[in-house]
Chains A and B, each alone.
Chain A
Amino acid sequence: MSLLAWTLLLLGTALGLGLWRTRGRGALRRALLQVATVALLYPTLFPPSLPEAFNPGELRVLTPVANPAEGSGGTSFPRKRESILPPSGDARIGGLEAGRTGQDPTSASRAVALPGAQAPPSVERTPDLATALRRHPEVTRLAVAGGGLPARDRDAARGRVVAFDAAPLPSGVVELAVPPSLMAGQVWSVDGRVEGAPGGTVELQDPGGTRVASASLGEEGAFRLSATAKIAGPALYTLSVMDSAGEPVERIVVPVAVRTGSPLRVLLLAGAPDAELKYFRRWAVDADLDVHSRIGLSEGVALREGAGALDPATLADSDVVLIDARAWAGLASAERDGLLAAVRHGLGLLLRPTGSLPPEVAADWARLGFRFEPAEARAVRLDARLGLAASGPAFSQQAFTVAASDAAPLLRADDGSVLAWSRLAGEGRAGLWLLADAWKLGLAGDSAAYGTLWSDTLAAIARPRDDAPPELRQHAWVGERVLVCSLKGSAIVVDGDGNRTPLRVDDDGCAGFWPWASGWHMLESGGETWPFHVRERDEAVALHAAETRRGTQALLGTSHEATPSASRDVPLPRWPFFLAFLAVAALLWWLERKAGGATAAA
């Protein structure tokens, strides 16, 4: 006999016995109550079900949530139990509110749990999302809950995610941005955001263990720290986060790959020597640039270095030409046309107005896209731009305002005003430099900041090079795919132990690599080596959680509309029936006791 039949038999017998023994005054009332007790006990044991609208095309995906206290493997779900799932013991259910962020809170759907996600036993387990989608071919919409989809599942989920109910991020560094390619000697900044440590501090330590920068965190937790790169090669900086009480929150490495610069050929034309030229030439020669210059001293007399001629061959060999207004005014018209033609073929041109601008020069430069208006010279500061922490010198802007509507800002002062522009001119770029006294940096001995300022400027202006670096994902973890793009030809990854892994490069120039060891890896492609760093699985947990979350959020938003087209039975909760049963049974007990007392007294 089944459980149901046994239960019914027991209940019936008990009711029968009860009714048979019920005598005396108020017997009818008590008999009715006995019937009611049984009638309530049954639904407590076997709660009735109600049909519910059900969307077979939607699948709820429960994903693991990172918890830094337990390392990367640990997961925990401080979430409330949700009633729309099949009844199931006391297991805590993680992130099942996902359905609510979908379009219809009453619509229910199937749920699957990815490995590592904590979910009630009744929820279907799946090794990965693609398997789940194979098992449920009718699914077209995914509602993700928890930490987010791991990288391996994102391709399967692409175009199907309609909702993402993200779990809160763990404390630690959740955003970290380092320039992808650093030049030797460059002043660079690491930007980031720390979750869960408002009022704390962050510190950047160099590979020698010395603190090079620190900042306090605001409410948002955002920070920016600057450091100076040394010689070419990989270097591991360390970022330490302390909370407001000074207790360490997290320590993660900040890997930077420093490269040497290209030996650009620079042509410098100036009407008169000035301080800027002195420091610029010193920097350029030390930075291995091929400097050619012609700096006028007097009529027909110049200070020359290398070939200062403006013939087409020289211009075709040069990467960038720096010219001031006096030198421009002194150019023959053939030279001017040749220069402009060279710019259209890729040469970079940087215009430096110094002093007042002769009208014909202003007219020429207006044809290049920069219209000048005289204005007062202004004091500007570049502390934030150069990472000088409010200790840099005050600079001045040349006494012009420039209207350059279609030019891109190249250098901004701390107050947001633009000090340099660059503008497309054919295949080349023409720039304008309004900062009058960058040399103050060199004079003050801050050659790294000075070099960085000019390096960034020349990098944006100079003739483009046909050796684009491969694009690498900024953060890589052991066991997660590293996507490399913009590869030309074959590529090999060499890990720290010297194991060589050839990559399969697809037609788009992209390749995937799954690192199994942490530390520095070298990507060898096209005769060059590009280092990248792989973190341990349990390193930078908060950052990994945030990356997962961002990756999942990026998947949101595209789906076909699907309406609920099925229904299913959802059992009602037991507790209302149980409470009613208890109340009726208590009343019955009281009446029986009273009747018993009356009988005894009689």
Chain B
Amino acid sequence: MSRADPLQSVARALRRRRTTIALLGAAPILLALVFAAARLAGASAAIPIALVGILCCAGLAISVHRRTDAAWLARRLDARVPAMEDSATLLSADAGALSPLQRLQRARLAGRIAQLDIDRVRDPWPLPPLLAGLGLALAIALGAWLHHPAEVPGMSETRDRPARAASITALDRIGIAIQPPAYTGVAAHEVSALDFEAPEGSRVDWRLRFVPQPRAAALVFHDGRRLALDPDGTQWHVGTPITTSLLYRIEVEGVAPADASLHRVDVIPDRAPEIRVIHPERTLSLLEAGQKHWNLEFEASDDYGLAAAGLALTLAQGSGESVAFKDRSIALDGEPVDGQRRVRYQVALDLDELGLGEGDDLVVKLAVRDTRKPEANVTRSASFILRWPAEASADSAGLEGVLQRTLPAYFRSQRQIIIDSEALLAERDSQSAERFLDRADAIGVDQKILRLRYGQFLGEESEGEQHAGGAHEDHGDAAVGEAPAGFGQAGDVLAEFGHVHDIAEAATLLDPETKETLRSALGEMWQAELHLRQGDPDLALPFEHRALELIKEVQQSTRIYLARVGLELPQVDESRRLSGDRSGLSDRIGALVRTAPDEQGLADFWAALASEGGELDAVAVRHWLDRRGDGQPETLTVLAAIDRLQRDSACSDCRAQIRKLLWPLLPTPATGVAPHAVPDVAGRSYLEAVQATGGAR
């Protein structure tokens, strides 16, 4: 054993060195070949070459390894090491077959080989051939590299794709130029993704480069439209205006495209202008005494820009069934606030010139256009009515008008009471108790008057009518003067401090929420008044504040007033009226038509979605989705999901996804009827028995 070990280690070292040299020589050339193949012919060529090369290398290594056997080793030792005395063969020979002399020689050699310098027998590194091989490899690689077409800036991210696969057509470069309509003022820009957003009406130019070059290419849209791409050198391009959101796919003729999925173009719609009405604040205004002009103020805004604005005026004259209308319109010039995107319009209507008389309504409506082309978006404001109340009109409209006109005045007054109370509290220390009580009582009287005025709208007793209107501007004197008159009368206690609610017909004029809010406000005022009159303004303040908030709520509760319209009845044939003449009368044949569209195709599609193997006929559902509204985001999402499923029918997630997406869009048909079934034999005989006994009874 001790003899074999040194020999074996020498053999191993030699084998290792020879195999390594062989592999080092072959590997660079193999790598270079594979690289060149991949570069020039794609992965389909490179992979077989790599496999064959690896097999060759392995074969080479094995054959070198095999050839380095015991006989070869003995020859090498004999040749290189004189100390072996040409007897190295003995070392690997079977000890039993040797003569005693041979054994002696073998033992001597074994001792020498243990001290052998391994580098004397081992092959040296053959540097020149190895370097030559490396150089050859580099030359091949460089050649392959240079043979490839030159690189274009901006395509680096997609460069390695065609190298991998020549069996599919890859998109080498994507450039999509979006030219929004001029009126939008949005600059033209370019995107490099196939899914993109574009303003409505933009012209979109696709510039695509494919590797390898297809024979023909086209964009196919979800609605079946097809745009052929025109070749232009190495690029393909086509342009089209985009008005609705779209799904599209790129189709190439020849090698199958790498990316066959649907892409999406979302249109950013040009929104219609928005109108904000600054004045009047309410849809119904009543003509103030002595009012000659009606000032109107609007502000309009748009996402791109505003064009012309016009004011439509309708004068409604007369009452009951004989209302006559006069229409006219005025063009408005606005002053730009933020370029043409936000414009403010101000106009003062001359009421005399318009011919507004007593009992008439003037209805105005603003219409604003934006700059959209070819058709502008038009937004019309709500109608605003200026009413000159008829003289003796005691109807509900008149009272509502009073409410609308007078509320702002009271609103300021309640705030004034708060300010007064706070001022009184601030001066408390510098005043005598009596003076303080007097002033608090005066504010309490103000509060009472206010409460009574609001109480009118709830049908409460209208005590203090004489304080109506402008009395509030100088309430200090007037109210103090009035207070004792009410105060000394014992019989008026209820009217002073009590709530007398709900004179029915007056109360019903307000909607219930407003009424409730107003009632709460009155309750708070009553409490405030109580404390003020007892000389405790600090206790009254919270009630005053709450009353103010509630009144604000009442004012903010919006109400809609409608313009008056005339009555249009069919002409009565006076010649036959009440004559009893029935000639020419006949049955009227009705022909009710089913309004619900036929959803059988949709139902079939829905049912087929339930099972994995169900055949899907998407034509019906596509038609239905098209009818439903083209270009709507959810419609496109469903279409994209259906397309994915059609391309990959094994995709079970797709079915679930379509079910989920489609469900909200599904119509709810009119409820069908399934009559009860004919009774079976047992049921029938039971029925017969029941009828028989029933008959007998």
Q: Chain B interface: which of A3-11, A54-62, A225-233?
A: A225-233
With A231-B599, A286-B669 known to touch, is A464 a contact of B585 (CB < 8 Å)? no
With A231-B667, A288-B594 known to touch, is A303 a contact of B587 (CB < 8 Å)? yes
- For window 576-591 of B, CB contacts with A under 8 Å fall at 582, 585-591
- For window 212-234 of A, CB contacts with B under 8 Å fall at 228-234
Are A283 and B671 in contact, with the CB atoms below 8 A?
yes
Q: In the complex, how many angstroms separate the beta carbon of B584 from the nearest chain A beta carbon?
A: 11
Which of A236, A304, A319 is B587 in contact with, Cβ under 8 Å?
A304
Number of interface residues of B (CB under 8 A): 48
Task: Give bound CA distance, A283 to B592, whole Å.
Answer: 11
Are B603 and A207 in contact, with the CB atoms below 8 A?
no
Are B612 and A185 in contact, with the CB atoms below 8 A?
no
Are B611 and A286 in contact, with the CB atoms below 8 A?
no
Q: In the complex, how many angstroms separate the beta carbon of B371 from the nearest chain A beta carbon?
A: 39
Cβ of B586: which chain A residues have Cβ within 8 Å of it?
301
Which of A187, A287, A458, A497 is B670 in contact with, Cβ under 8 Å?
A287
Q: Chain B interface: which of A40-48, A132-140, A327-335, A446-454?
A: A446-454
Cβ of B185: which chain A residues have Cβ within 8 Å of it?
none
With A231-B602, A286-B596, A301-B587 known to touch, is A181 a contact of B670 (CB < 8 Å)? no
- A interface footprint on B664-681 (CB within 8 Å = 1, 0 otherwise): 101111111111111110
With A285-B593, A300-B585, A498-B613 known to touch, is A208 a contact of B663 (CB < 8 Å)? yes
Cβ of B613: which chain A residues have Cβ within 8 Å of it?
496-498
- For window 273-310 of A, CB contacts with B under 8 Å fall at 281-283, 285-289, 291, 293, 297-298, 300-305
Are B607 and A234 in contact, with the CB atoms below 8 A?
yes
Which of B582, B674, B677 is A259 in contact with, Cβ under 8 Å?
B674
The residue among B589, B596, B602, B678 with the most chain A CB atoms within 10 A of its own CB is B678
With A208-B663, A497-B613 known to touch, is A462 a contact of B677 (CB < 8 Å)? no
B606 at the interface (CB under 8 A from A): yes
Task: Give bound CA distance, A297 to B585, whole Å.
Answer: 11
With A207-B659, A281-B592, A522-B611 known to touch, is A447 a contact of B670 (CB < 8 Å)? yes
- A interface footprint on B591-633 (CB within 8 Å = 1, 0 otherwise): 1111110010011001101111100000000000000000000
Task: Give bound CA distance, A228 to B666, whole Å.
Answer: 12
Q: Chain B interface: which of A93-101, A260-268, A553-561?
A: A260-268
A173 at the interface (CB under 8 A from B): no
Cβ of A466: which chain B residues have Cβ within 8 Å of it?
677-678
The residue among B595, B606, B609, B669 with the most chain A CB atoms within 10 A of its own CB is B669
Are B671 and A448 in contact, with the CB atoms below 8 A?
yes
Number of interface residues of A (CB under 8 A): 76
Are A496 and B612 in contact, with the CB atoms below 8 A?
yes
- A interface footprint on B225-239 (CB within 8 Å = 1, 0 otherwise): 000000000000000
A209 at the interface (CB under 8 A from B): yes
Cβ of B589: which chain A residues have Cβ within 8 Å of it?
304-305
Q: In the complex, how many angstroms separate the beta carbon of A454 from the nearest chain B beta carbon?
A: 8
Which of A287, A459, A496 is B675 in contact with, Cβ under 8 Å?
A459
B66 at the interface (CB under 8 A from A): no
Cβ of A283: which chain B residues have Cβ within 8 Å of it?
670-671
Cβ of A463: which chain B residues have Cβ within 8 Å of it?
675
A114 at the interface (CB under 8 A from B): no
The residue among A184, A228, A259, A283 with the most chain B CB atoms within 10 A of its own CB is A184
B419 at the interface (CB under 8 A from A): no
Task: Give bound CA distance, A571 to B264, whole Å.
Answer: 82
The residue among A181, A208, A467, A494 with the most chain B CB atoms within 10 A of its own CB is A208
B660 at the interface (CB under 8 A from A): yes
A477 at the interface (CB under 8 A from B): no
Are B591 and A305 in contact, with the CB atoms below 8 A?
yes
B687 at the interface (CB under 8 A from A): yes
- For window 152-196 of B, CB contacts with A under 8 Å fall at none
Q: In the complex, how many angstroms separate the beta carbon of A328 from the nearest chain B beta carbon?
A: 19
Are A208 and B671 in contact, with the CB atoms below 8 A?
no
Cβ of B668: which chain A residues have Cβ within 8 Å of it?
185, 228-230, 447-448
Which of B592, B612, B674 is A261 in contact with, Cβ under 8 Å?
B674
Cβ of A397: which chain B residues have Cβ within 8 Å of it?
none
B651 at the interface (CB under 8 A from A): no
A565 at the interface (CB under 8 A from B): no
Task: Give bound CA distance, A287 to B672, whole Å.
Answer: 5
Cβ of A228: which chain B residues have Cβ within 8 Å of it?
668
- For window 447-504 of A, CB contacts with B under 8 Å fall at 447-448, 451-452, 454-455, 458-460, 462-469, 486, 494-498
A127 at the interface (CB under 8 A from B): no
Are B671 and A183 in contact, with the CB atoms below 8 A?
yes
Q: In the complex, how many angstroms separate the beta carbon of A483 from the nearest chain B beta carbon?
A: 17
Are A304 and B673 in contact, with the CB atoms below 8 A?
no
Q: Which residue of A lies closest to B662 (CB)?
A: A208
Cβ of B680: which chain A residues have Cβ within 8 Å of it?
468, 486
Q: Which residue of B lies closest to A186 (CB)?
A: B671
Are B603 and A262 in contact, with the CB atoms below 8 A?
no
Task: Give bound CA distance, A595 to B667, whole Å.
Answer: 102
Cβ of B661: which chain A residues have Cβ within 8 Å of it?
208
Q: Which residue of A lies closest to B664 (CB)?
A: A208
Are B667 and A261 in contact, with the CB atoms below 8 A?
no
Task: Give bound CA distance, A305 to B591, whole Å.
Answer: 6
Cβ of A184: which chain B residues have Cβ within 8 Å of it?
603, 669, 671-672
Cβ of A427: which chain B residues have Cβ within 8 Å of it?
687
Task: Give bound CA distance, A582 to B67, whole Å.
Answer: 87
Task: Give bound CA distance, A469 to B675, whole Å.
Answer: 11
Are B595 and A459 in contact, with the CB atoms below 8 A?
no
B691 at the interface (CB under 8 A from A): yes
With A207-B663, A304-B589 known to touch, is A451 a contact of B611 (CB < 8 Å)? no
A210 at the interface (CB under 8 A from B): yes
Cβ of B677: which chain A residues have Cβ within 8 Å of it?
464-469
Cβ of A355: which chain B residues have Cβ within 8 Å of it?
none
A519 at the interface (CB under 8 A from B): yes
B390 at the interface (CB under 8 A from A): no
Cβ of A209: which chain B residues have Cβ within 8 Å of it?
660
- B interface footprint on A235-246 (CB within 8 Å = 1, 0 otherwise): 110000000000
Cβ of B678: which chain A residues have Cβ within 8 Å of it?
464-466, 468
Task: Give bound CA distance, A201 to B585, whole Å.
Answer: 62
With A231-B606, A291-B592, A293-B590 known to touch, is A286 a contact of B670 (CB < 8 Å)? yes
Task: Give bound CA distance, A207 to B661, whole Å.
Answer: 9
Cβ of B603: which chain A residues have Cβ within 8 Å of it?
184, 231-233, 260
Cβ of A455: which chain B residues have Cβ within 8 Å of it?
671-673
B690 at the interface (CB under 8 A from A): yes
Cβ of B671: which chain A residues have Cβ within 8 Å of it?
183-187, 261, 283, 287, 448, 451-452, 454-455
Cβ of B663: which chain A residues have Cβ within 8 Å of it?
206-208, 230, 235
Task: Give bound CA distance, A486 to B677, whole Å.
Answer: 11
Are B659 and A232 in contact, with the CB atoms below 8 A?
no
Are B610 and A183 in contact, with the CB atoms below 8 A?
no
A316 at the interface (CB under 8 A from B): no
Cβ of A261: which chain B residues have Cβ within 8 Å of it?
671-674
With A207-B660, A232-B603 known to touch, is A462 a contact of B588 (CB < 8 Å)? no
Are B675 and A319 in contact, with the CB atoms below 8 A?
yes
The chain A residues found within 8 Å of chain B, CB to CB, are 181, 183-187, 206-210, 228-236, 259-262, 264, 281-283, 285-289, 291, 293, 297-298, 300-305, 319, 348, 406, 424, 426-427, 447-448, 451-452, 454-455, 458-460, 462-469, 486, 494-498, 519-520, 522, 531
Pick 15 A–B contacts, CB within 8 A, sort by A.
A231-B602, A264-B675, A281-B592, A285-B595, A287-B670, A300-B582, A300-B585, A303-B590, A304-B589, A426-B691, A455-B671, A464-B676, A464-B678, A496-B612, A531-B607
**What 10 A-B pairs are tightest by C-beta distance, nearest first?**
A261-B672, A451-B671, A498-B613, A208-B663, A468-B677, A286-B670, A233-B607, A287-B670, A233-B606, A185-B671
The chain B residues found within 8 Å of chain A, CB to CB, are 582, 585-596, 599, 602-603, 606-607, 609-613, 659-664, 666-680, 687, 690-691, 694
Assuming A236-B659, A301-B585, A305-B590, what are 4 further A-B pairs, CB within 8 angstroms? Answer: A181-B674, A455-B672, A468-B678, A494-B611
